[in-house]
Amino acid sequence: MVIPVSSLQSGLSALLAQADQPATVSNLRRLSGGGSREAWAFNAVTDAGPERELILMRYPAEGLIDGDADHEFAILQTVHGANIASPEPLWLDADGTHLGRPGFVMSREPGVADIRGVSDSDLTGLDQQLVDTLVTLHAIPVEIQQHQPFLSELARWETRLSEQTILEHPALVVIARWLRENVPDCPQPSIVHGDFRYGNVLHVDAVLSCVLDWELAHIGDPLEDIAWAFRPFRRSFAPRIPLSQFVALYERSAGCTVDRDALNYFRIFSEYKSAVIYLSGLESLMRGGSMILARPLQLVPYSLYQAALWLDELGIEC
């Protein structure tokens, strides 16, 4: 659904008024990027204080992933309340009554996502901050009593794959079967960010200021976040230190031992998940989604190749 900027601005005003925060909304503008949600910056002046620059996250009808504004808003409430550097969730329009589509308003935090030009020594410091952030995130208490919390996450992507009609690739079927038959036990389930990497992290002068994009967050195995951050085709968004060093820092900070076999499992899952996401994006493109969804077309075969390569290197028979 395309909504005029003027209507969206009026919707924002109505949303804030309903939340007993009547405000004058101005300077609404669409931010670039994003295949799963629309990001809009705007200014608001309320009776409660000075002008604030805020962010509207709005879920499109067709996106790269199936999103849930209510879920992401709740996750942000939890992590922001646990002192994770993250936007403050402010107002939710779960059913799109005011915004035309589900969405929410959050604070706009300082910093930039671009790490080009950051010195090697500063990048090493940022890598350590990534480790510390993950350790803090994964230590937030969760209420779950099972050794394989990842099963529900795997089922999510299996369902998503079954819903797309772009490509029926036998490798996806074989990899999915192996993943389901070999789910590792999880000693400590945690909140998992789901898309943790440079590009979703803001920094101010090489000091981490905010972790963005929580739409894929869920309860699962913390090793998912480590594996996802080091996907080969996302090298430019990965920590600059080697994976082995990142894991060693994580172990030291968290006071745990990372199961290397489990980590290899989640590296293979990351490629499977990537392939499903991009296939789903192409399906959404065919249904009228933004052309931004066509950008990762070439990454589907790459992800499948990488998963198959690791299975072969590990001597795993599917």
Question: Do residues 91 and 75 touch, judged by C-beta distance below 8 A?
Answer: no
- Per residue of the chain (318 residues), give pLDDT as tens: 567 788 999 999 999 999 888 889 999 999 976 667 899 999 999 877 788 999 999 998 766 667 799 999 999 999 999 999 999 999 999 999 999 999 999 999 999 999 988 999 999 999 999 999 999 999 999 987 666 788 999 999 999 888 877 767 788 888 999 999 999 999 889 999 999 999 999 999 999 999 999 999 999 999 999 999 999 877 788 899 999 999 999 999 999 999 999 999 999 999 999 989 888 776 766 666 666 656 666 788 889 889 988 988 888 876
Position 312: which residue type? Answer: D
Question: Do residues 89 and 77 touch, judged by C-beta distance below 8 A?
Answer: yes
Q: What CATH code would you report for 120-313?
A: 3.90.1200.10
| Fold (CATH) for 5-107 | Phosphorylase Kinase; domain 1 (3.30.200)
Where exactly are the structural domains of the chain?
5-107, 120-313
Contacts of 148 (CB under 8 A, 6+ apart): 183, 184, 185, 186
Q: How far is it, in rounded angstroms, from Cα 211 to Cα 134?
A: 10
Q: How far is it, in rounded angstroms, from Cα 207 to Cα 188?
A: 29
Question: Do residues 193 and 216 touch, judged by C-beta distance below 8 A?
Answer: yes
Burial group, residue 223, by CB count within 10 angstroms (0-12, 13-18, 19+): buried
What is the Cα Rg of the chain in Å? 20
What pLDDT is stored for residue 27 in this prediction? 95
Contacts of 267 (CB under 8 A, 6+ apart): 227, 230, 231, 310
Q: How far is it, in rounded angstroms, from Cα 285 to Cα 188?
A: 38
Distances (CA, A) of 245 to 28, 98, 124, 201, 268: 43, 48, 11, 20, 20
Burial group, residue 295, by CB count within 10 angstroms (0-12, 13-18, 19+): middle
What pLDDT is stored for residue 89 in this prediction? 97
Asked whether the whole model's pTM tops 0.85, one would answer yes
Q: Which two three-digit tokens encode residue 107? A: 């604070």
